[in-house]
Amino acid sequence: MYSKRDVARPKTRLGLCAVVLAAFVLSGCEFLGPRALEAGRTDYNAAAKSTAVDQLLLNIVRMRFNDRPYFLEVSSISSTAEAGAAFGGTDEKGIEGGIRYLERPTIIYTPLTGESFVRQLLSPVTLETLLLLRDAGWEMDDILSVFAERMNGVPNASTGGDSTPEGVPEFQEFKELGEAVDELEDRDFLLFAAGDAVGGNEIVIAVDPRARGTQAFVTFTRILKLNPEAPVYRMRVGVIQDSEDTIVIKTRPIMSALFFVGQGVQVPQEWLDTGSVNFAVDPLGNPFDWDQVHGDLILIKSSESEPPNSVAYSKVEYANRWFYIKAGDVDSKETLTMLSIVLTLKAGGIKTQRPVLTLPVGG
């Protein structure tokens, strides 16, 4: 005959483990969601950001070598997490137990393809986009360096936006203009704002009176053939300047902008020697040095071996070579981010196809 005390006591370690683990799991389940979010959100965020930068770099490298770009958008990341009791084998002390935690993420990719997206890539960047970038903190001289093909007839290495640039590009006067704009901006002598043109595709540039006594302003008005006494200049899309207070600008499509910055890719010497890549040449037949055009705008280095993470901010492998942006290259990182923002704007209104690739991660 059993007493109440005998009935309440577990006879093996199995009973004790079951009671303890069940209590632990039941009490812990209410915290699983928040803990899973704390553990996973920043990791997913960092991975999505890093791979987006790498994808952009890869497409710039592809285009430098006349290869077709291709974009995959991470359209969905979902994850389920579960926890439960787990029991192992037995020994002389009884049955061993523990807590089992399992996370099952699912990632959905959507290709950015179709006529709408291609049209966006081939359409010139709007002045509204340039102004958005300026208001977000990028300097106007860097914005114009990437996205302006010419202003008031002054070319900005126009051939650099082509897939097969030939000859030495014309860029010296535009580079001088950019340096003048940079100095005037640093001193708050130029104020950029949206104009009142239909569709908002106009930028008004107000001039601080103190600017008129500076060499930078003299250079700015001389190169653009502007009236130095005008209090305001209006920038609009066009080809021919029709007045001395107007700046007509021809902007690049995002595709041409990618070709342009792609000229900053460091081409392996053996690829140059074998003629497997197109490049502009100077009058002596030597490859043109695009660092003269880009300055500090962007530099994409190449290496036979994979650079360590401590050296490379972003790195991709292409045709058995590694191409990367150095970890400490702030200017190149800013340019890459600016291009990424414009690409996001271009892709934002595109109706994508239904997801064609779904990858469950884990087992």
List all residues 6 or more positions away from 111 whose beta carbon is below 8 Å from its beta carbon: 70, 71, 72, 73, 352, 353, 356
Residue at 17 is within a domain: no
Domain annotation covers residue 30: no
Q: Is residue 195 part of a domain?
A: yes
pLDDT at residue 168, rounded to an integer: 85
Q: 269: alpha, beta or left, given left = phi > 0 and alpha = psi -120 to 50? A: alpha
pLDDT at 9: 46
30 pLDDT band, cuts 50/70/90, is: low
Q: How distant, in Å, are the alpha carbons of 13, 24, 26, 93, 195 from that of 97?
A: 10, 12, 15, 12, 71
Indicate whether 5 pLDDT > 50: no
CA distance 92 to 115: 71
Domains identified in the chain, total number: 1
pTM comes to 0.79
Residues 297-339: pLDDT tens digits? 999 999 999 999 999 999 999 999 999 999 999 999 999 999 9
pLDDT at 230: 95
- Considering the domain boundaries, does residue 347 fall inside one? no
| Number of neighbours of residue 280 by Cβ within 10 angstroms | 21
Task: Report pLDDT digits (tens) over 350-363.
Answer: 444 444 444 455 54
Percentage of the chain modeled with pLDDT above 70? 75
| CB distance 347 to 67 below 8 Å | no
- Rounded-to-integer distance, Cα 329 and Cα 85, Å: 49
101-105, 216-220, 226-230: which has the minimum mean pLDDT?
A: 101-105
Q: What's the mean per-residue pLDDT of the chain?
A: 82
C-alpha 139/C-alpha 181 separation (Å) is: 9
- Asked whether residue 322 is assigned to any structural domain, the reply reads no
pLDDT at 4 over 90: no
Cβ contact 110:70 at 8 Å? no
Q: Find the domain containing 175 and state its range.
A: 126-252
Which run of H or of E encompasses 314? strand 312-318
DSSP 210: G
Residue 3 has pLDDT above 80, yes or no: no
Residue 233 lies in a domain: yes
Nearest one of 308, 349, 359 to 107, comparing CA atoms: 359
Which two three-digit tokens encode residue 177? 């203009």
Contact 126, 143 (CB under 8 A): no
Report which of residues 30 and 315 the model is more confident about. 315
Asked whether residue 223 is assigned to any structural domain, the reply reads yes
In a domain, 56, yes or no: no
What amino acid is encoded at 144 in this protein? L
Higher pLDDT pick, 18 / 243: 243
